Structure 1
Amino acid sequence: MKINKKNFSNFFKKKKNDLKKENSNEDSNNVLEIIFDEHFQEIRQRFFQSFFFISLLIIIVFLNVNVIVEILEKPVANIKFFQLSPGEYFISTLEISIFFGLLIISPIFLNQLILFFFPSFNENEKTISRYLSISSLILFFLGLIFSYFVLIPSTLGFFINYGKNIIEPLLSFNKYISFIGILFFCSGILFQIPILQILLSLFNIISGEKMFEIWKYVIIFATIISGIFTPSVDPITQSLLAIVIILLYFIGSYGCTFLKPI
Structure 2
Amino acid sequence: MLRSAQKKEKDPEGRMPLGEHLRELRNRLAKAVVAIIVVTIIAAFFYKDIIEFFTNPILDAVGCHASFSDLAAKDHGTCARIVLNGLLTPFTLALKVSLMVGVIGASPIWLSQLWGFVAPGLHQHEKRYARAFVGTGVPLFLGGAFFAYKTLPTMATVLLGFSPGGLDNQLPLDELIDLITRMVVIFGLSFELPLLLVMLNLTGVLTGRRMLSWWRGMIMGITLFAAIATPSTDPITMLALAGPIWVLYFAATIFSLTNDRRKARAEEAGPGDDEASELDLTPDDIDEAESVSAGPALPEQASGEGNRINGYDDVT
What TM-score results when the alignment is normalised by the length of structure 1?
Answer: 0.79
Q: 1:35 to 1:225 in 2, by over 3 A?
A: same
Q: Does 1:72 align with 2:54?
A: yes
Give the aligned partner of residue 103 of structure 1.
104
State the SS of the aligned residue for 1:206.
coil
- Write out aligned runs for 1:94-133 (5 A): 94-133=95-134
- The separation in 1 between residues aligned to 2:158 and 2:130, in whole angstroms, is 41
- Write out aligned runs for 1:241-260 (5 A): 241-257=241-257, 258=259
Give the aligned partner of residue 22 of structure 2.
40
Structure 1 unaligned regions, length at least 5: 1-32
**Cα deviation per residue 1:233-252 (whole Å; 9 max; x = unaligned)?**
54333223221111122223
By how many angstroms is 1:231 displaced? Answer: 4.8
Taking only aligned residues, the RMSD between alpha carbons, in angstroms, comes to 2.1
State the SS of the aligned residue for 2:161.
helix
* Partners of 2:31 and 2:110 within 8 A in 1: no
* Partners of 1:155 and 1:229 within 8 A in 2: no
- The separation in 2 between residues aligned to 1:180 and 1:115, in whole angstroms, is 32
Q: How many residues align?
A: 227
Residue type of the partner of 1:212? Answer: L
Looking at both structures, which has the greater relative contact order when contacts are Cα pairs under 8 Å and sequence separation is at least 6? Answer: 1
* Partners of 2:147 and 2:240 within 8 A in 1: no
By how many angstroms is 1:207 displaced? Answer: 2.2
- The separation in 1 between residues aligned to 2:256 and 2:104, in whole angstroms, is 28
Higher normalized helix content (fraction of residues): 1
- The separation in 2 between residues aligned to 1:175 and 1:197, in whole angstroms, is 34
State the SS of the aligned residue for 2:171.
strand
- The separation in 2 between residues aligned to 1:100 and 1:232, in whole angstroms, is 26
What TM-score results when the alignment is normalised by the length of structure 2?
Answer: 0.66
* Partners of 2:183 and 2:230 within 8 A in 1: no
Structure 1 stretch 199-208 or stretch 218-227: which is displaced more? 199-208
Residue type of the partner of 2:183? Answer: L
By how many angstroms is 1:163 displaced? Answer: 1.2
- The separation in 2 between residues aligned to 1:237 and 1:82, in whole angstroms, is 25
- The separation in 2 between residues aligned to 1:235 and 1:141, in whole angstroms, is 23
By how many angstroms is 1:188 displaced? Answer: 1.2
Give the aligned partner of residue 20 of structure 1.
none
Q: Does 1:168 align with 2:168?
A: yes
**Cα deviation per residue 1:203-234 (whole Å; 9 max; x = unaligned)?**
44322321111010111012112222345454
By how many angstroms is 1:194 displaced? Answer: 2.1
By how many angstroms is 1:56 displaced? Answer: 0.7
Structure 2 unaligned regions, length at least 5: 1-14, 65-79, 264-316
Q: Does 1:61 align with 2:43?
A: yes
Q: What percent identity do the matched residue pairs reach?
A: 27
Residue type of the partner of 2:119? Answer: F
Q: 1:239 to 1:165 in 2, by over 3 A?
A: same
Give the aligned partner of residue 87 of structure 1.
88
State the SS of the aligned residue for 2:157.
helix
